[in-house]
Structure 1
Amino acid sequence: MTEPARATGRHRHARAAGRAGLAAMGFAVAVMLAVALLGPSAAVPDIGGGDPPWFLRAAPSDALVIRLTWVAVIVGGLGVGAGLYALRRGWLPARGILLAGTVTAVLALTLVPPAGSTDVLNYAVYGRIAALGQDPYLVTPAWLHKLADPVGEFAPLAWRGAPSVYGPLATWAQSAASQLGGESMAGTVLALKTMTGTAFLLSALMLDRLAGPDRARRVRVHLLWSLNPLMLWHVVLGGHIDGLGAFFLVAALLAMRGGGVLAGLAAGALLGAAAAVKAPFLIAGAGLAWAARRSAATFLAMVTGVVATLAAVYVTQSPAAFGNLVGKIGAHSLADPWRVITDALGLGTESSTLEGQLALGAAFLIGLLLCWRLPEGPPGLDAVRPALAWCLCWLLTSPVQHPWYDALLFPLLALMPAGRLDGLLIVRGIVTSLIYLPGAIGFLLLQPTALTRWILEVYRPWVAPLAADLVILCVVVLGFAGALRHRRTPARGADDG
């Protein structure tokens, strides 16, 4: 076979893989939408009446909902992987198709009830408490529930005794949503989802701009963020406030690109705003500090922006706002990567201390390794590579793992060159997402079946933590081997435009 014929075959193969990837992502979004439209279920919390968000009350079985949610996550993640594979081999879909798909998906997923988590209901309750003139950092949802408040009656049982641990900007957003939604949980949830959906779209536009004129880099941004079903599920459909933090983080990267003292000040203020939504976004400051390293004035302006913003917003709240945040240190979650180790050692109350020590030591070492071995970052964006290194080391090793935390990770990954981290982090996103599904009802309340027993007794305690540990091991091995970046130069010409 001649070289032109082989090249034509490669281009045809890349185009087919790319179209299959887009179809898989579209199918995943359609399944997500169907789950939400079916109404209250094991995956969709009851939010009362409302028009919108629109939904039926079809009362689907637990088994059906579990299968649908698992299919959406697995097929969606595989679709992203197929799209990235095709992109490396020269497939270049039309940018207009990607943007239109993004807007359509975000709009549709915003106008239906949340699925996969009850967190957005917690946001609504905290917002209602603040709107009523109370302090959500001191007053718990149980107070609102006991008042027979029309929003408080939908407060998730598991969190009724927990005051807010979110940053002041998150509380302001929740309070604003409560003002818009009034005495309706459905209306407040819609307002919250509209905020996060808008933040998601604006982040996509800013990432597209940061990617620059290179068409392949722009496609990569949209595959890993704008059309990524894992992010669409958690940020848009789930309404997680992490999407607002991601917006401020991407805006900080865009501001820092300008260079100079004013750019450093603006970037610092925006990073401070991201951390005032959720504290872990502050970790990305390592990247901004690195980008400002050549100018003491720019560095000091960036630090000033961060400190001033955080001080300005936290001073408006009671000391409990910071105390509740500190109180989360030592916590762990279902997706805890150290769970297998501590269980094998038979540790009980001592596990939190050991997990904290393991996580801190591993995070520091992996962070140094990634700073050394990650491929060069995008031109003109010095902050991205170190920000990814330190955010990733924390997300890999933290005992507190939730799939929506990846809203901190995927915007940074999307701006980096293609590498073997892509597949590893997509797998990790799938694994951690499945731990929390269906999400609206605890597994102990579901109808016992062979599937639910397997998830509860095998997947959650063994398969998922071991998979997370395997991802950590692969990152370390590939880092030491200098193999985090794909060596192959992609062929061009497989346009779908």
Structure 2
Amino acid sequence: MEHPFGCIALGLCALAIGLLVLTGLLGPSAAQPPLPGGPSWLPPYRFTARPAAGTVTGLLLASALLGALGLGLALRELGRGWAPDPGRLTVGGAVAALAVVCVPPMGSADHLVYAAYGRLAAGGGDPYRDTAATLVRDGDPVGRAVEAPWTDVPSVYGPVATAEQWLAARVGGSSVHTIVLVLTLLGAAAFVLTGLLLQRAAGPDRTARARVAILWSLNPLLLFVAVGAGHLDAFALVFAVGALLAVRRSPVLAGVLVGLACAAKVSLGLYVLALAWGLRGRPRALAALLGSALAVGVATYLPVGLGAFDQMRENTKLVSLAVPLRLVLKPMEAAFGHDTARSLIGLLGWVLGALVVWLLARTTARARPAAMDGVLRDSAAAAALLSLAWLLTTPYSLPWYDVAAWAPLVLLAPSALDGLLLARTTLLVCAYVPGRVVPLPDAVDTFQRTVRGTVGPWGGAAILVAVVLVSRRAGEPPRLRGGPPRPRSPRSPAVPRS
């Protein structure tokens, strides 16, 4: 066997995915909220094993760590010439996504508030003003299913995301089970479609397509946070990836697609900058891109009004626990007060993000695949760089946000960026299990608080240090294997060999 470690890598990824499905089948737990309603013959399926919080935490941690190890081995073997059949890997990824959808979402209770927003919209309410508590007052079962801390929080998502949630609620009615099924099916379909689009963008090269299939379609970490957790990030991202593919031939279509992506989740606005960078030498195409994106933004937000941005503004003051900027939050609050510190830390995040972009620009430039079309290559490289820098430095970040960086990164040639993002995603996934905001046994609670509140921010800081080291290495001239070439004697001209 030419690449035995490649087979081991795939085996580890399969085992990690199997642990995800097993954890879901166990039924409601500290990782999985109940899904009231029916019908029971429809997925997602689960038993009522009532697993302990420690059990599901251990299973999800094992899945994340085994998956990360498998991906690391796969990256090493791909760099050594391993090129498994990308078609089979892609089919395997689609089967894995379907298997994950067949068990209930885990890792958070966000999908329940998505259902409530859809229920509000379907009933004529305003999810940007009303909350799940509004539904509870009306005796609605969908509102009662929503868990803390989202019971009284309006929607932070764009009108395209609200439209998806409205559609799911129209299909599911008062059944949380069915609404969530529709949402997860749409998310899984978007995840699979994104993989197919990335395969097309990678071109005919077998190794490049195998890289896409392993790092996206069969990535256990992404299958967990983007499909198995029921988040809408995969649904929003498919529009942005479509824009990457469309930008060379139709800047107008690319603008429409990236406008829809931003109207689902505003953080995907980084892709607008990336696409603009790809078209920097074509002013007419750039104007068409920006004009169509702006038109879509106006058309989608106009019906819902500026109130859709209210909760987004509130979220700019948040600082999540497992990010490196958490380490400076308390000293800044002590020095400047709560409100000023929250504003300054947001500014500090943007400054650090710009610094990371500058540090990693050379590494990213070297990772651009030469065989790819220039506009697509530059746009994908810029999207990967901007998204990764934002993830590493933003004050508020969660593991499912990482899909925005993985999608363009898998199109690039192997580089140190792979290791940086793999470390970041693994760290954040481990920090946010089991996921629900529920009382936990003392041992599990202590473990969770330690990983999320201490290991997470210090690990993120270590990744930022690694960014500096990577940038210094990228600035060094390449070393020649076997030492410098020997000078030829002028009396012994080189003779070509047959």
Shorter-chain TM-score above 0.5: yes
Aligned pair partner of 1:312 in 292, 296, 299? 299
Aligned pair partner of 1:31 in 12, 16, 19? 19
Q: Is the CA contact (8 Å cut-off) linking 2:384 and 2:406 kept in structure 1?
A: no
Q: Is the CA contact (8 Å cut-off) linking 1:418 and 1:486 kept in structure 2?
A: no
> Which is worse superposed, 235-244 or 355-364?
355-364
> Which is worse superposed, 109-118 or 184-193?
109-118
Aligned pair partner of 1:265 in 252, 276, 279? 252
Matching residue of 1:423:
419
Matching residue of 1:440:
436
Aligned pair partner of 2:398 in 397, 402, 427? 402
User: Which residue type is aligned with residue 445 of structure 2?
Assistant: T
TM alignment of 1:168-179, pairs within 5 A: 168-179=159-170
Matching residue of 1:369:
359
> Judging changes above 3 Å, is the alpha-carbon distance between structure 1 residues 221 and 487 closer, same or farther for their aligned structure 2 residues?
farther
1:428-461 CA-to-partner distances (Å, cap 9, x unmatched) read 101111111101244xx01112x431331x3222
TM alignment of 1:474-485, pairs within 5 A: 474-482=466-474
Residues 1:360 and 2:350 aligned together:
yes
> Which is worse superposed, 160-169 or 46-55?
46-55
Aligned with 2:410: secondary structure?
helix
TM alignment of 1:114-263, pairs within 5 A: 114-258=105-249, 263=250
Separation in 1 of the partners of 2:93 and 2:478? Answer: 27
What's the Cα RMSD here?
1.9
- Report 1 or 2 for greater relative contact order, CA contacts < 8 Å, sequence distance ≥ 6: 1
Unaligned segments of structure 1, at least 5 residues: 1-10, 490-497
Residues 1:452 and 2:445 aligned together:
yes
> Judging changes above 3 Å, is the alpha-carbon distance between structure 1 residues 431 and 63 closer, same or farther for their aligned structure 2 residues?
same
| 1:184 CA drift (Å) | 0.2
Q: Is the CA contact (8 Å cut-off) linking 2:117 and 2:155 kept in structure 1?
A: yes
| 1:337 CA drift (Å) | 1.4
Separation in 1 of the partners of 2:441 and 2:215? Answer: 35
Normalising by structure 2, we get a TM-score of: 0.91
Separation in 1 of the partners of 2:69 and 2:280? Answer: 39
Separation in 2 of the partners of 1:218 and 1:89? Answer: 15
User: Which residue type is aligned with residue 432 of structure 2?
Assistant: Y
Aligned pair partner of 1:107 in 95, 98, 103? 98
Q: Is the CA contact (8 Å cut-off) linking 1:137 and 1:318 kept in structure 2?
A: no
Matching residue of 2:491:
none
Separation in 2 of the partners of 1:488 and 1:152? Answer: 64
Residues 1:20 and 2:8 aligned together:
yes
TM alignment of 1:312-391, pairs within 5 A: 312-343=299-330, 347=334, 349=338, 350-374=340-364, 375-378=366-369, 379-380=372-373, 381=376, 382-391=378-387
Separation in 2 of the partners of 1:125 and 1:485? Answer: 56
Q: Is the CA contact (8 Å cut-off) linking 2:132 and 2:144 kept in structure 1?
A: no
> Which is worse superposed, 474-483 or 217-226?
474-483
Separation in 2 of the partners of 1:487 and 1:255? Answer: 38
Q: Is the CA contact (8 Å cut-off) linking 2:128 and 2:156 kept in structure 1?
A: yes
Matching residue of 1:73:
64
Structure ID, larger Rg? 2
Count residues with an aligned counterpart. Answer: 469
Aligned pair partner of 2:263 in 276, 284, 291? 276
Q: Is the CA contact (8 Å cut-off) linking 2:187 and 2:230 kept in structure 1?
A: yes
Separation in 2 of the partners of 1:314 and 1:194? Answer: 25
Separation in 2 of the partners of 1:266 and 1:246? Answer: 15
Residues 1:61 and 2:52 aligned together:
yes
Normalising by structure 1, we get a TM-score of: 0.91
Separation in 2 of the partners of 1:484 and 1:53? Answer: 52
Q: Is the CA contact (8 Å cut-off) linking 2:433 and 2:448 kept in structure 1?
A: no
> Judging changes above 3 Å, is the alpha-carbon distance between structure 1 residues 355 and 486 closer, same or farther for their aligned structure 2 residues?
farther
> Judging changes above 3 Å, is the alpha-carbon distance between structure 1 residues 16 and 483 closer, same or farther for their aligned structure 2 residues?
farther
TM alignment of 1:92-103, pairs within 5 A: 92-103=83-94
User: Which residue type is aligned with residue 424 of structure 1?
Assistant: L
Q: Is the CA contact (8 Å cut-off) linking 1:420 and 1:483 kept in structure 2?
A: no
Unaligned segments of structure 2, at least 5 residues: 482-498
1:366-398 CA-to-partner distances (Å, cap 9, x unmatched) read 223333442242321221112222222111100
| 1:238 CA drift (Å) | 1.0
1:29-74 CA-to-partner distances (Å, cap 9, x unmatched) read 1110011111100001111143321111110011111101111111
Q: Is the CA contact (8 Å cut-off) linking 1:124 and 1:174 kept in structure 2?
A: yes
Separation in 1 of the partners of 2:318 and 2:142? Answer: 28
